[in-house]
């Protein structure tokens, strides 16, 4: 079975900005159009900066090496317009390489968010799921102040956790790849998934 493994040698996949095991994502609030996120490495340095393009019929997010947006590292684009169960293609713009895709399971995500991780050939290789049905229902029906937690797995093996910190004013998320010792998941796809989840969840909660 195909997996979401790295598809070509690249030094910063194993080292540098893509080689970290833990990141912290902070959403930039009070932005008039679009959405923006800073992604910090374990040392507290900005590893990535992400910006959603405003006024796009199809969602379009870009991930850069910094806020100056000089070096574009990843693109995340929806295949269709305003589709609740949309598929988002993740591409390396430097090479044109299609890293993989992320597909939201539309009906199931009404009650509990669930995503599929697809490889470059659109084969399902993993999942990302909200922590539990009970907690998901509490968030949707009673309050959105309960932090969300997602877990990801490839081939049944845990590869990431995505944990929102409790803060009603600033969205901060801890992204942890430490359980993926075998690097089953391409870090580029993992970073893209985290940014996409931040963007989708931020929009749903009205942020």
d(CA 37, CA 39): 6
**Alpha-carbon dihedral sign for residues 139, 140, 144, 147:** positive
The top-scoring range by mean pLDDT among 4-18, 27-41, 119-133 is 119-133
Model confidence at 12: pLDDT above 60: no
Show contacts of 104-108: CB within 8 Å, 24+ apart.
104/200
Question: What band does 2 get if pLDDT is binned at 50, 70 and 90?
Answer: very low
Q: What is the pLDDT of residue 24?
A: 96
Assess contact for 98 and 120: CB atoms under 8 A.
yes
In tens, the pLDDT along 132-144 reads 655 555 555 555 5
Token duo for residue 112: 């509990």
Instruction: Give the predicted TM-score (pTM) of the model.
Output: 0.81
Q: Give the count of alpha carbons within 13 A of 143, CB side only.
A: 5
Q: Give the count of alpha carbons within 13 A of 6, CB side only.
A: 13
The more confident residue out of 86 and 106 is 86
Beta-carbon contacts of 149 under 8 Å, excluding residues fewer than 6 positions away, are: 130, 131, 135, 161, 162, 163, 164
In tens, the pLDDT along 147-187 reads 678 999 999 999 999 988 876 667 788 999 999 999 999 99
CATH 2.40.30 matches 20-204: no
């Amino acid at each position: 079975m195909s997996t979401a493994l790295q598809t070509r040698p690249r030094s910063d996949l194993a080292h540098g900005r893509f080689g970290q095991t833990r990141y912290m994502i902070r959403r930039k609030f009070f932005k008039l159009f679009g959405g923006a996120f800073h992604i910090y490495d374990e040392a507290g340095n900005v590893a990535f900066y992400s910006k959603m393009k405003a006024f796009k019929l199809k969602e379009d997010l870009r991930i850069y090496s910094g806020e100056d947006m000089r070096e574009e590292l990843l693109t995340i684009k929806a295949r269709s317009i305003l589709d609740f169960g949309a598929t988002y293609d993740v591409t390396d713009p430097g090479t044109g390489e299609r890293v993989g895709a992320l597909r939201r399971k539309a009906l199931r995500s009404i009650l509990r968010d669930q995503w599929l991780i697809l490889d470059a050939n659109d084969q399902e290789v993993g999942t990302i799921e909200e922590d539990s049905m009970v907690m998901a229902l509490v968030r949707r029906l009673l309050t959105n102040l309960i932090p969300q937690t997602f877990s990801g797995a490839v081939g049944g093996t845990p590869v990431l956790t995505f944990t929102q910190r409790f803060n009603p004013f600033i969205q901060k998320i801890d992204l942890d790849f430490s359980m993926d010792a075998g690097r089953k998941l391409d870090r580029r796809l993992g970073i893209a998934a985290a940014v996409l989840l931040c963007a989708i969840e931020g929009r749903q909660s009205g942020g």
